[in-house]
């Protein structure tokens, strides 16, 4: 067991890193992150890491490219300073939607990012609810994809109305919906959609009984809010009650997302703090911290214990 460890916070989500360190009774490692006028990123470690277990907390959330390069620079600095082992805590893994080619002349960017992460010397990757679980296959290092389902279920267990149904916004989230349904003793409905572009989708039909029932739409992320807004409209057209709640692991909530969800009449939106989320003047938004889950995983890593009881 390596007892000498240090946690560094990247610039993407220092508040989450601070919560994780607090859960572990530790202090964040001292570092300096600078951005030069031309956009280049500089990282400097302000304390030694030689022979130590290093954890770098850095979701690759927007701006994705900046935060990805910063993570790589952090890892390279730790490797060159003789860290014993480097674990990247990447709660939100950017480029996860680019896990396959849709045409002959396209990159598989998720695979490229995996190669970069391994090349700089990262020994272990920890993430939360990967958009495409098969991305683990792009890595030759250990990957632990934790789930926020227990955390979110605990947060809204007593707040859901009776006779509700779990709704998967597409076929790709059915497994996640089934996990929520098992934990909440509910049934599942699925929306079949067709993606028109990177920001627009069309709901084709609702599979499952939602008439006169409250709905909990679950997803791994909310970015523009377009898919959720379309889902709400489809559920109401199918006879669902107006009590529609949304739960997602990653609340990216890009520009315009709040307005779309507000216009759609969503009753409540629950997300975790895998990425920074502003709740300012939006009472429908609730943020649940994922820090205890990640801290629990780190404790088990340090003690060479299984993660099975975190699921």
Statement to judge: residues 212 and 249 lie in one domain: yes
pLDDT tens digits along 285-298: 999 999 999 999 99
> If pLDDT is split at 50, 70 and 90, which confidence band does 199 have?
low
Strand, helix or coil at 46? coil
pLDDT tens digits along 247-275: 999 999 999 999 999 999 999 999 999 99
Nearest to 222 by CA among 205, 203, 199, 238: 199
**pLDDT attached to residue 158:** 77
Q: State residue 168 phi and psi, 5-degree precision.
A: -90, 125
Q: Which residues contact 122 (CB under 8 A, 6 or more apart)?
A: 75, 86, 87, 88, 141
**pLDDT attached to residue 1:** 42
Mean pLDDT, rounded, of the chain: 92
Q: Cβ atoms within 10 A of the Cβ of 219, count?
A: 25
**pLDDT attached to residue 91:** 98
* CA dist., res. 150 & res. 295, Å (int): 15
Let me know: does 209 contact 186? Beta carbons within 8 Å: no
Residue 193 has pLDDT above 80, yes or no: no
What domain count does the chain have?
2
pTM of the model: 0.92
Q: How does strand 201-207 pair with strand 214-222?
A: unpaired
Q: Return the CATH number at 16.
A: 3.40.50.2020
Statement to judge: residues 219 and 297 lie in one domain: no
Nearest to 10 by CA among 80, 86, 71: 71
Q: Is the peptide bond before 210 cis (omega within 30 degrees of 0)?
A: no
Let me know: does 94 contact 61? Beta carbons within 8 Å: yes
Q: Which residues contact 120 (CB under 8 A, 6 or more apart)?
A: 72, 75, 76, 79
> If pLDDT is split at 50, 70 and 90, which confidence band does 222 have?
very high
Residue that is written with structure tokens 């859901």 in the block: 160
Statement to judge: residues 201 and 158 lie in one domain: yes
> If pLDDT is split at 50, 70 and 90, which confidence band does 204 have?
low
Statement to judge: residues 238 and 225 lie in one domain: yes
Nearest to 3 by CA among 306, 309, 308, 299: 299
Domain encompassing residue 178: 149-288
* CA dist., res. 46 & res. 60, Å (int): 23
Q: Average pLDDT of 2-16?
A: 91
**pLDDT attached to residue 57:** 98
**pLDDT attached to residue 218:** 96
Statement to judge: residues 15 and 61 lie in one domain: yes
Let me know: does 26 contact 73? Beta carbons within 8 Å: no
Q: Average pLDDT of 177-203?
A: 80
Q: Average pLDDT of 186-209?
A: 76
Statement to judge: residues 250 and 298 lie in one domain: no
Statement to judge: residues 203 and 237 lie in one domain: yes
Region of 205 (left: φ > 0; alpha: ψ -120 to 50; beta: rest) is beta
Statement to judge: residues 54 and 126 lie in one domain: yes
Q: Is the sign of the CA dihedral 105, 109, 114, 115 positive or negative?
A: positive
**pLDDT attached to residue 156:** 85
**pLDDT attached to residue 192:** 82
Statement to judge: residues 139 and 9 lie in one domain: yes
Statement to judge: residues 30 and 115 lie in one domain: yes
pLDDT tens digits along 37-67: 999 999 999 999 999 999 999 999 999 999 9
DSSP 8-state secondary structure symbol assigned to residue 42: E
Q: Average pLDDT of 161-166?
A: 88
pLDDT tens digits along 10-40: 999 999 999 999 999 999 999 999 999 999 9
Residue 200 has pLDDT above 70, yes or no: no
**pLDDT attached to residue 201:** 61
Residue 71 has pLDDT above 90, yes or no: yes
Strand, helix or coil at 134? helix
Statement to judge: residues 247 and 281 lie in one domain: yes
Let me know: does 226 contact 246? Beta carbons within 8 Å: no
**pLDDT attached to residue 5:** 96
pLDDT tens digits along 83-139: 999 999 999 999 999 999 887 889 999 999 999 999 999 999 999 999 999 999 999
Statement to judge: residues 31 and 139 lie in one domain: yes
> If pLDDT is split at 50, 70 and 90, which confidence band does 308 have?
confident
Residue 182 has pLDDT above 70, yes or no: yes
**pLDDT attached to residue 278:** 82
Residues acting as catalytic residues:
193
């Amino acid at each position: 067991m390596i007892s000498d460890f240090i946690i560094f916070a990247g610039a993407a989500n220092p508040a989450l890193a601070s919560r994780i360190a607090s859960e572990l009774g530790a202090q964040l490692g001292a570092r300096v992150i600078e951005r030069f006028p031309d956009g280049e990123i500089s990282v400097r470690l302000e304390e030694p890491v030689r022979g130590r277990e290093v954890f770098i907390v850095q979701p690759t959330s927007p701006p994705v490219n900046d935060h990805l390069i910063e993570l790589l620079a952090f890892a390279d600095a730790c490797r060159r300073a003789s860290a014993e082992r480097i674990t990247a805590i990447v709660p939100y893994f950017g480029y996860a939607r680019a896990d396959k080619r849709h045409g002959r002349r396209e990159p598989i960017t998720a695979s490229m990012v995996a190669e970069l992460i391994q090349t700089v010397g990262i020994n272990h990757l920890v993430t939360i609810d990967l958009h495409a679980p098969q991305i683990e296959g792009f890595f030759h290092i250990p990957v632990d994809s934790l789930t926020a389902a227990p955390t979110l279920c605990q947060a809204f267990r007593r707040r859901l109305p009776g006779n509700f149904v779990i709704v998967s916004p597409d076929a790709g989230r059915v497994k996640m919906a089934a996990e929520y349904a098992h934990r909440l003793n509910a049934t599942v409905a699925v929306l079949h959609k067709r993606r028109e572009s990177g920001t627009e989708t069309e709901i084709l039909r609702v599979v499952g009984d939602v008439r006169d029932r409250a709905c909990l739409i679950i997803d791994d992320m909310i970015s523009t809010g377009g898919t959720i807004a379309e889902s709400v409209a489809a559920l109401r057209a199918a006879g669902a009650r107006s009590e529609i709640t949304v739960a997602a692991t990653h609340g990216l909530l890009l520009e315009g997302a709040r307005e779309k969800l507000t216009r759609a009449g969503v009753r409540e939106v629950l997300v975790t703090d895998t990425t920074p989320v502003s709740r300012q003047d939006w009472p429908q938004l609730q943020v649940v911290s994922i820090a205890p889950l990640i801290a629990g995983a780190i404790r088990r890593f340090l003690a060479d214990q299984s993660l099975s009881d975190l699921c």
